[in-house]
Amino acid sequence: MYTPAHLVATAVRWPVESQQRARRNAMIASNALARRRVELAEVEEFLATRVEHVGQEAAAPAPHS
């Protein structure tokens, strides 16, 4: 059985623990978004390089046989 002191202590701790959980969740979400931004930038860079490479191949004169 919970004593009144235990219930009061739990009620007093709840907002602090709730705030800590919210901050942790926000930090995890922020890190996940940062990783996705880096991944997106890497994919865009790769694709831009490929498009540039394909464009150079198309602009190069055809070899004579």
pLDDT tens profile 1-48: 889 999 999 999 999 999 999 999 999 999 999 999 999 999 999 999
Residues 6+ apart with CB under 8 A from 10: 2
Separation between Cα atoms, residue 22 and residue 29, nearest integer Å? 11
Identity of the residue numbered 34: A
Domains of the chain by residue range:
20-48
Separation between Cα atoms, residue 26 and residue 15, nearest integer Å? 16
Region 49-63: mean pLDDT is: 77
The pLDDT value given to residue 32: 98
The pLDDT value given to residue 62: 66
